[in-house]
Amino acid sequence: MRRLKQAVAVCVLPIAALSIAHASMQASAPEAAAAAKATFSLPALPYAANALAPAIDAQTMTLHHGKHHQAYVDTLNKAVAADKALAGQTLEQLVSKAGTLPATVRNNAGGHWNHTFFWKTMAPPAQSGSPSPELSKAINSSFGSMDKFKQSFKEAGTKRFGSGWVWLIVDKSGKLAITSTPNQDNPLMDVADEKGMPILGNDVWEHAYYLKYQNRRADYLDGWWKVVNWAEISRRYTDATARK
């Protein structure tokens, strides 16, 4: 009996060692394959989930970033992995020809681009700041005043039927314009009615505000100005006007 136990013990060791080695290989191979396939990834929020409260509450932020944005990234990765014609293309390349791509790619590439932009262009209320002198001047000359600009932006956001975005863009002539897009489209897309470089944008999908504001989209649009990152918008304005 004792001999048998010893023999079993002797046998068990190498098997255990083998199975540990095998398990680690099993764990690493799919991980490596997933990493190779995962072209796009969810960017971390540049602030804590509760940092934009009360304009945007922590629960909305957590769901919006961790569930909605993550889903756009995951669905886009799956679609790109399944279609050789899309391999190796950047997010900007996909977005620019969205109208020629399958709806899944258009919607989820747009969703990924729009939300990545959205997080970066907001800041905690204490860091919201104000537009640069150049951007202030452009806003005044295009819209009459900052208040009138905000009013027009709010109108475009409340009028957007269903889900979509409202944008401040620098158009082809270098001028500021307010525009709105449906679903996850944006002004960089070939399908956009009004094209240009977005420098500011707000998400008017219900998932962006419904938990706190319910159906009051106008209140959400009003409260949101407190978390606009004006230093970032001003930097993007300078870049967009220099590039054109």
> Crossing angle of helices 146-159/217-224, nearest 10°?
150
# residues contacting Mn ion (CB under 5 A): 3
CB 75 within 8 A of CB 115: no
Nearer to Mn ion, 38 or 63 (CB): 63
Nearer to Mn ion, 29 or 103 (CB): 103
Does residue 72 belong to the site contacting Mn ion (CB under 5 A)?
A: no
Find the residue with minimal CB distance to Mn ion: 203
Supply the DSSP symbol for 185.
-
CB 115 within 8 A of CB 107: no
> Crossing angle of helices 133-143/146-159, nearest 10°?
70
Nearer to Mn ion, 205 or 213 (CB): 205
Nearer to Mn ion, 167 or 205 (CB): 205
Nearer to Mn ion, 113 or 237 (CB): 113
Q: Which two tokens stand for residue 131?
A: 């537009």
Compute the least distance from the CB of residue 208 to Mn ion, in Å.
5
Q: Which two tokens stand for residue 5?
A: 């136990």
* Per-residue x/- track, 144-183, Mn ion (CB under 5 A): ----------------------------------------
Q: Does the N-terminal peptide bond of residue 131 adopt cis geometry, omega within 30 degrees of 0?
A: no
Fill in the amino acid letter for 174. Answer: G
* Per-residue x/- track, 184-213, Mn ion (CB under 5 A): -------------------x-x--x-----
Would you tell me which residues interact with Mn ion (CB under 5 A)?
203, 205, 208
